Structure 1
Amino acid sequence: MQQGRYIAYYRVSTQRQGRSGLGLEAQRKTINDRLRGAGQLITEYTEIETGRRTDRPMLAEALSACRLHRAVLLIAKLDRLARNVAFVSALMDAGVEFQACDFPSANRLTIHILAAVAEHEAHMISERTRVALAAAKARGTILGGARGRAGTCTDLEKARAARTAKANQRALDLATTIRSLQAAGSTSLCSIATGLNARQIAAARGGFWTAAQVRRILNRLQDQTTCEASA
């Protein structure tokens, strides 16, 4: 690998992997081994998200950092980016150079082919899972903990709590970026939304940010601050 400036991007698929370091440490070792004496690692970003999702705030921040520092996005393996050809294509058109340690000399055509293979592999895994579940259902196995019965009040409360926790965490993830935008002069809801869109940070359900969505995030952050102060 040539001398240069690099931003590392790591991805694990589950919260458990993120906490335990399972998979994450192997990715970090691969990148450190590759960069040893052959490049400057400016910073690194870690995402806990399935490879099928394309709304990844940490990847968006990593891409922004690459553009800011004129650095190369470095990943341990190509499938850590995405098992989706369209997503890899869009990434390649984002104006950021990226390299995969497992294929350091891959060209654009090679990367497209490898991404297609990874996407096919993900599809095959999904298909095998679907067939296995169908076979289990045919044998009379009840699938899912709550199948065949209505959700209780406790079930509904747990579901609401899980959604709230996820939304709160999302707001916290965005807090640093929003504060940096505000410090840079983006004080209105619309200007903050524009800044988030410019950093390629997708809204909660994908797509672009609006002033109303920014207001909800700021209100959620304010509620969390109030709760912490009164605790």
Structure 2
Amino acid sequence: MAEKDQQGYPLAPANGHARSDLESSTLQSKELRRKKKIKCLVYIAAFAVFQTIIILVFALTVMRIKTPDVKLGTLTIQNFNVGTAGSPSFSMRLIAEVTVKNKNFGHYKYEESTATFSYGGRTVGQTLIPNGRAKARKTRRMSIVVDVNSAGQLSGNSNLSNEISTGMLTLSSHTKLSGKVTLLKVMKKRKTAEMNCTMIFNVASQDADAGHHAKITATKCVAEDYEASVNQWNRNCNQ
């Protein structure tokens, strides 16, 4: 009877924790996969943010087309002659440096233009600025020569008489460059830079050995799409 009772009940497994170990291993595997998925999502999100930053920087720097700066640099005066308050007149040859500063990541190709010098709104000298190209992130320098003469333009001008009396002669110059900025050989945008300068000449000294000095003040540069103020500067130019 005892033998039958023993045969009716099977023996318990040798390792009672086998099932719990299997469940624990399954949970650990699921947790590991979950952590890997989270890590992948973090990497993808970080990569997307990085790409967005790169695109924004590229769009705000490289792809942003700016108007080039046109400035009048050093000025040399030759053959300077000035009349008297009773018979006001002046004539001179100006050799000026014009700079075209291209701040873009593409070249700026500008068309032929003119530089006009005037007194009291009347033209007293004009010279040609040939077409050219300013390389990307570079400054193009060129030299222009203009003969300035008041003959036949300012007869009877009382303001000129007053300026000669005080020894200060004021001239204005105007330069306008139009052209296109090309990026990546595909993207092109037209930009126009305009420069207006005021020059004050000291004409008090008539001694040829002493020479004459010019003080140049750049008032402003106006571009096609905005007006930017330019810092004022003074330069001395010897005969």
Higher normalized helix content (fraction of residues): 1
Common fold by TM > 0.5:
no
TM-score between both structures, scaled by the size of structure 1: 0.21
Higher normalized strand content (fraction of residues): 2
TM-score between both structures, scaled by the size of structure 2: 0.21
Higher CA-based Rg:
2
